[in-house]
Amino acid sequence: MKRLTLALAVAAATSSMVSADDGVETITVTASRGANVQLPTLATHVVIERSDIELAQVESVPELLSRYAGIDVATNGGRRQVASVFTRGASSDQTLVLVNGLRVNTASSGGATWNTMSPELIERIEIVKGPRAAVWGSDAIGGVINIITREQAPGSVTLNAKYGTNNTQSYYLGTGVSHGNGATTFAINKERSDGLDVLKTSEPDDDGYENISFTVNGNQTVTNALSVNWLFKSSKQDVDFDSTYLNTSENENREWQLAGNYQWTASDIQNTATLSVGAIKDKNLSFGNDRAKQDGDLFETQSDQLSATNTSIFNESFTLVLGTDQYKEEMVSSTAFTQSERRVEGYFGHGLFSQNGVTAEVAVRYDDVENIDSETTYNLGVGYQITDEIQLSVAKGTGFKAPTFNDLYYPYGGNPDLLSETSDTEEVNVTYVKNAFDLTVSYYNTDIENLIEWAPDADNVWQPRNLSQADISGIDITANYSGLGGNHTFNYGYLDAVDGATGSRLVRRAKNQFSYQFTASFDTTDLMLNYEYKGDRMDSGVELDSYQLVDVSVNHRFTEAISVKLKLHNVFDEEYETVLNYQTLGRAVYLSINYQM
């Protein structure tokens, strides 16, 4: 895992290339929308590499994210149940989630459908913490999480089979194909599990799942100036759960994207123009145990997206990125909403400057959301290299989240007069890097206004209104050290997130969290030890106890082509809840065999 508080490079989010030139690694990150940028940004972010994902052997993306400072996860039971990901205390629908730069937050609920994302199909995950609405628009209050789909080298073939607790099975097949100055990856992953009994207060049955996912992504260099890349991703999942009258759901998720980069020069200014078009469709059908689909509850959203940016590198000290995002959201439901589509237009500029130890960035964006007041957001940041090892930076930014279709147009209480939720954030970062040790300490304070809350009016009619506010502050500390037999990573997060009116704690967020990962390689064997502590949290007026988890993962290579992995999860069989009355996985064992040629 590479933690890059100051990125060595910032490139287009639609690209997923990692390259090396003269020994300096250029890493695509999500802090900026620019292409081929060689200047650092002041955004605090983390890059989780494919090697980290493989060694961690996690069963879901939220399980992996929960190990990092400033990120907390609450799940309604097992690994493929509904999950909420909180970034720096912001709610799950106040974190923008992308797949290869495409927005995947649904227009109905506002959150991402984490349960359809398979870790086996991910190349890396880029996490940017703090407001980034001035670059990405709505939803980026707590941060941005960009998931980059997996790549395989041309001519390679990978086969993986896994079996574990609760009859959990997973099968992966992937290959890479070259075509001239380009390559395409084809990958398919199938998973199933008997699951566990999700809800304590409901029927005592196992709630399992089946999931199949398929991706095609590639790139082609057409000329020295023009390159294109593409993505097609499809997933389908059947999952059981416990509720009053709905117990099973079918989720279908499809995404496609086509993007191009064109390099050109004008008056010694190097430019890269990027155009991306794509679409996301998310379909959820829920029904009772009798599986009477004609009586099921249907929610289907689609987002057609177009993004265009131009990155201008004036010199080695100054870069300017200008861009626009245009997308249309549509919704189809078994419940007839009063309005089923809207358009969003966003226009932004992002400037980066670095010289003589001073780094600065300014971003401004204007968003026009149909039938809702427009929003203007900004990011300002200044950093100073105090010594060769220490950098201090300060930043301020604003963000917003547009109301969802459920909030605005639900026929039984929707409120079309809602305003967007808005935020103001201040942040101070100190970074220390020397030899094999690096340390980052971040303090942040966020005030969120116009929070949307469903509450009864004078006639006892429940309706969403801009009633609430939240005061959030916290500290993130991350340290890495290479030595003493391996690599040591420490993450600590302190969060004070309260309702601004009542002073009560925001639900399902732990006040303290700590994690430690130790990784080491011994000839043909790789080892990862993961320890997590999550403090107590509140839910529905009940305090949920703190808990500790210990995971051990081992990967042993018998030959260059064949390896075997073993994962021990929750070694000490800790019983805990992240959502009131929803049970979580106890001790579990997984064994997998991998073949790669």
pLDDT by residue (tens digit) across 189-227?
999 999 999 988 887 888 899 999 999 999 999 999 999
Mean pLDDT of the chain: 90
> E-strand spans in 288-420?
297-313, 318-333, 341-355, 358-369, 375-385, 390-401
Please check the confidence at residue 295 and state whether its pLDDT lies above 70. Answer: no
Name the pLDDT band for 80 (thresholds 50, 70, 90): confident
Give the confidence band of 5 by pLDDT, cuts at 50, 70, 90.
very low
Q: What pTM did the predictor assign?
A: 0.93
Is 16:217 a contact under the CB 8 Å cutoff? yes
- Of 107, 121, 144, 126, the C-alpha closest to 60 is 121
Which residue has tokens 């009798």?
A: 290
* Digit-coded pLDDT (tens) for 376-425: 999 999 999 999 999 999 999 999 999 999 999 988 888 999 999 999 99
Report the pLDDT value the prediction gives residue 38, as an integer from 0 to 100.
77
For residues 531 and 566, is the Cβ–Cβ distance under 8 A? no
CATH superfamily of 2-596: TonB-dependent receptor, beta-barrel domain (2.40.170.20)
pLDDT of residue 3: 41
For residues 31 and 98, which has the higher predicted lDDT (pLDDT)?
98
Helix (H, G, I), strand (E, B) or coil at 376: strand
Residue 431 is predicted with a pLDDT of 95
Q: Which residues of 441-454 are buried (b: 16+ CB within 10 A; e: fewer)?
A: ebbbebebbbbbee
Looking at the chain, the whole-number percentage of residues with pLDDT higher than 90 is: 77
How large is the average pLDDT for residues 295-309? Answer: 91
Predicted local distance difference test score (pLDDT) of residue 290: 60
* CA–CA gap between residue 503 and residue 35 (Å, rounded): 44
* pLDDT digit string, tens, across residues 117-130: 999 999 999 999 99
Kindly report, residue by residue over 553-576, the tens digit of the pLDDT.
999 999 999 999 999 999 999 999
Buried b / exposed e over 487-515, threshold 16 CB at 10 Å, is bbbebbbbbebbbeeeeebbbbbbbebbb
Residues forming a β-bridge with 569: 588
Q: How crowded is the C-beta side of 577, counted as CA atoms within 13 Å? A: 19
Compute the Cα dihedral for 97, 403, 113, 215 and give only its sign: negative
Domain ranges for the chain: 2-596
